[in-house]
Amino acid sequence: MSNVTIRDIKTILTEPENIRLVIVKVETSEPGLYGLGCATFTQRPTAVAAAVDDYLRPFLLGRNVADIEDIWQSSYVSSYWRNGPVLNNALSGVDQALWDIKGKMADMPVYDLLGGRAREAAPVYVHASGPTREEVGDKMQAFLEQGFHHVRIQVETPGYASYGTGRGLTEADLEYGRGGAVGDKSLPLEGPRPVTTWVRPQEEGKRYAHPGGVFEPKPYMRSTLDLFEYVRDRFGYGVEILHDVHERIPPILGVWFAKEVEKYQLFFLEDLFSPEDNDYFRMVREQTSTPIAMGELWNSPHEVIPMIKDRLIDFIRIHLSQIGGITPARKIAAMGELFNVRTAWHGPGDTSPVGHAANMMLNLNTYNFGIQEAAIPGERTREMFPGMPTLKDGMMWSNGKPGLGIDIDEKMAAKFPFKEREFGGAWDTVRRADGTMVKP
How many chain residues are in contact with Mg ion, going by CB under 5 A?
Answer: 1
What DSSP element (H or E) covers 270? strand 268-270
Q: How far is the CB of 223 from ligand GCO (least distance, A)?
A: 18
**Using CB distances below 5 to 8 A depending on partner kind, what does residue 435 bind out of Mg ion, ligand GCO, none?**
none
DSSP state of 277: G
Closer CB to ligand GCO, 188 or 370, in the complex? 370
Give the residue from 114, 113, 109, 102 showing the smallest Cα distance to 33: 102
201 binds, among ligand GCO, Mg ion, none (CB under 5 to 8 A by kind): none
E strands within 132-191? 150-155
Cα-based distances in Å from 434 to 179, 196, 197, 430: 15, 5, 9, 11
Residues in the chain: 440
Distance in angstroms (rounded) separating the CA atoms of residues 179 and 294: 25
Nearer to ligand GCO, 25 or 246 (CB): 246
Q: Report the residue number, 191 or 394, with the smaller CB distance to ligand GCO.
A: 394
Amino acid at 316: I
Segment interacting with Mg ion (CB under 5 A) among 114-122, 186-194, 243-251, 273-281: 243-251
224: helix, strand or coil:
helix
What is the C-alpha separation between 26 and 37, in angstroms, rounded? 8
Contact partner, 84, from ligand GCO, Mg ion, none, Cβ < 5-8 Å per class: none
CB of 257 to Mg ion, least distance (A): 15
Tell me the C-alpha to C-alpha distance, in Å, between residue 218 and each of 99, 230, 253, 274.
46, 18, 8, 17
By the criterion CB under 6 A, which residues form the site for ligand GCO?
42, 244, 246, 296, 348, 350, 373
Tell me whether residue 42 or residue 274 sits nearer to ligand GCO (CB atom).
42
Query: Considering CB distances under 5 to 8 angstroms, the limit depending on partner class, which of Mg ion, ligand GCO, none binds residue 350?
Result: ligand GCO
- Three-state DSSP at 390 gives strand
Please report how close the Cβ of residue 244 comes to ligand GCO at its closest, in angstroms: 5
> Which option in Mg ion, ligand GCO, none does residue 247 bind, with CB closer than 5 to 8 A by kind?
none
Considering the complex, state which of residue 60 and residue 86 has its C-beta at the smaller distance from ligand GCO. 86
Q: Quick one: what does residue 348 bind among Mg ion, ligand GCO, none, with the CB cut-off 5 to 8 Å set by partner type?
A: ligand GCO
CB of residue 148 vs ligand GCO: minimum separation in angstroms? 16
- Amino acid making up residue 247: E
Q: How far is the CB of 42 from ligand GCO (least distance, A)?
A: 5
Site string for Mg ion, 259-298 (x = CB under 5 A): ----------------------------------------
Contact 361, 397 (CB under 8 A): no
Interface with Mg ion, residue 244, by CB under 5 A: yes
- CA 176, CA 179: separation in Å to the nearest integer? 9
Residue nearest to ligand GCO (CB): 348
Q: Which is nearer to ligand GCO, 389 or 402 (CB)?
A: 389
Q: Which does 42 bind (CB under 5 to 8 A by kind): ligand GCO, Mg ion, none?
A: ligand GCO
Q: Considering the complex, what minimum distance in angstroms separates the CB of residue 413 from ligand GCO?
A: 20
In angstroms, rounded to a whole number, what is the distance separating the alpha carbons of residues 146 and 204?
A: 36
Q: Helix, strand or coil for residue 293?
A: strand
The closest of 406, 409, 372 to 391, measured between CA atoms, is 372
In the complex, least distance from residue 155 CB atom to Mg ion, rounded to whole angstroms: 16
Instruction: Please choose which of Mg ion, ligand GCO, none residue 285 contacts, taking the beta carbon within 5 to 8 angstroms, the exact cut-off set by kind.
Output: none
Handedness of CA 209, 212, 216, 222 (dihedral sign): negative
Pick between residue 42 and residue 365 the one whose CB is nearest to ligand GCO: 42
Residue of minimal Cβ distance to Mg ion: 244
Select the span of 110-118, 237-245, 358-366, 405-413 touching Mg ion (CB under 5 A). 237-245
Catalytic residue annotation:
163, 246
Query: Considering beta carbons, is residue 100 or 244 the nearer one to ligand GCO?
Result: 244
Residue 102: name the closest of 7, 1, 12 by CA.
Answer: 1
State the minimum distance, in angstroms, from the CB of residue 19 to ligand GCO.
8
* Long-range pairs, 411-417, Cβ under 8 A, ≥24: 412/383, 412/384, 413/12, 413/14, 413/16, 413/23, 413/384, 414/14, 416/14, 416/15, 416/16, 416/380, 416/384, 417/13, 417/14, 417/15
Pair 231, 133: CB distance under 8 Å: yes
DSSP 141: H
Contact set with Mg ion (CB under 5 A): 244
